[in-house]
Amino acid sequence: MRRATIALLALAALAATGAAAGHRSVRPPDAVVRPASAAEPLAGRIAWALGQAPKSTPGRAFWVGYSIDRLQGERSQIGWFDSGGPGRDLTIAEMLAGKTAAAPVAASDGEVVRKAAKAALDDLEKKGRPEKKVLRELGFFLKYEPGRSPVLAGMRMSNLDLSLDFEGLTLFWLGKSPEDQSLAFVEKLYGSAGHDDLRENLLAAAGCHGTPALVIPFLSGILSGNGPDEQRKNAAFWIGQQNDAEGLRLLVRAAKSDRSEEVREGAVFAVSQVELPAAVDEIIALARSAEKTDVRKQAVFWLGQMASEKSGKALEEFARKDGDAEIQEQAVFALSQLPDGQGVDALIKLAKTHPDPRIRKKAVFWLGECDDPRALETLVNIIKGK
């Protein structure tokens, strides 16, 4: 995911990298129960767990979990982790291995700070470079409440090398699942989910599967369906995370013609997140010729978050030649948002030569917000009348 993903809205809480502000309590399962055979299809293992749980844990809630293999960026994680202090919690993998306490980590305050500085330096050195993909296990954890038949109450996702609070309840661990069986199970749960929060988590779970040919048909059905706009917008986001040409085509169509402004804007954002060269061309095309003004403005905004030589050229063209003053102003702002000061030269030209004084004034304002020597020199010269 590229830089603009810092704006994942509520979706970030579901499946993005995150660090807790403070330490929270993590309670391992009181027992980890496994089926006799992990080779059985996932549906059979699920049925076993749901049949076994009421006998093993009568009257108590319980967890059912399994994992899939997923390619992820080497610096990314899905789930929760604690960033503070020298100690750490048990990881899920350690809990599954039967550990009851994490190994103590003795570190001085100075060592903690040095490690944090090294991590920050590593991030800076790798900035702008393609992130290496690594294979990690991604766990899906379903919490069931007791009843005549167990009732699904919630779902969490996490890489197994992170931690998760199992609240001291029993975990029925089913092992690894093929991706197609996992997605079929998630789709089934989505269709019967009893509340929006659960559907939102299940939608994210579907989107975190990594095979577009499996995922996109399910997500596209939600995007084009009659469900709430929030769910359809979330489906657009997860289609964008598949980085797939067919998914990109579906998103462009939704951006142009969906009945909901919320979904159209969500689709434009999703297009901006697709890591294919064609995505920049599609965003530029939407900014240039989409029928609806809200789509054009969103496309111009997200173009300013995309690190591409084409982005700066297109934004300067919109700022100078577009027939809509709002689009011109949006393009000036977007130039100021381009990574690594890529839009500064264009802003300088606009501040000096744009025929509309309102646009020159906007360009001057955003130059004042740039931490760039070229911007400062230009502002000084303008003040001197040069």
- Report residue 201 as tokens: 């988590």
How far is C-alpha 98 from the geometric centre of its chain's CA atoms?
A: 32
The answer to whether residue 258 scores a pLDDT higher than 90 is yes
- pTM for the complete prediction? 0.84
Q: What values do phi and psi take at 269, rounded to 5?
A: -60, -45
d(CA 268, CA 200): 20
Give the pLDDT score at 126.
Answer: 55
Based on the number of CB atoms within 10 Å of its own CB, is 362 exposed (0-12), middle (13-18) or buried (19 or more)?
buried
Distance of CA 112 to the CA centre of its chain: 28
Per-residue pLDDT averaged across 152-160, rounded? 96
Q: Which residue has the higher pLDDT, 268 or 386?
A: 268
Amino acid sitting at position 385: G
What is the rounded CA–CA span in Å between residue 364 and residue 368? 6
Coil, strand, or helix at residue 144?
strand
Q: Give CA separation, 53 vs 111, 145, 185, 207, in Å.
A: 45, 10, 19, 28
Q: In the predicted model, is pLDDT for residue 345 greater than 90?
A: yes
Residues in the chain: 386
Residues facing 81 on adjacent strands:
19
Q: Which of 47, 13, 36 minimizes the C-alpha distance to 188?
A: 47
Per-residue model confidence as pLDDT tens digits over 169-207: 999 999 999 999 999 999 999 999 988 899 999 999 999
- Look at residue 15 and tell me whether its pLDDT is greater than 50: no
**pLDDT, tens digit, for every residue of 30-63?**
999 999 988 899 999 999 999 999 999 999 999 9
| Amino acid in the structure at residue 209 | H
Task: Tell which wins on pLDDT, 37 or 29.
Answer: 29
Cα separation, 13 vs 98, whole angstroms: 29
Residue 101 parent element (H or E): none
User: What are the DSSP calls for 314-381, one per residue?
Assistant: HHHHHHHH-S-HHHHHHHHHHHHHSGGGTTHHHHHHHHHH-SSHHHHHHHHHHHHT---HHHHHHHHH
Neighbours of 280 (CB within 10 A): 20
Report pLDDT for 12: 39
pLDDT tens, position by position, 94-143: 999 998 776 665 555 566 566 566 555 566 555 556 678 899 999 999 99
Contacts with 78 (C-beta within 8 Å, 6 or more apart), sequence order: 15, 16, 17, 70, 72, 138, 157, 158, 159, 162, 208
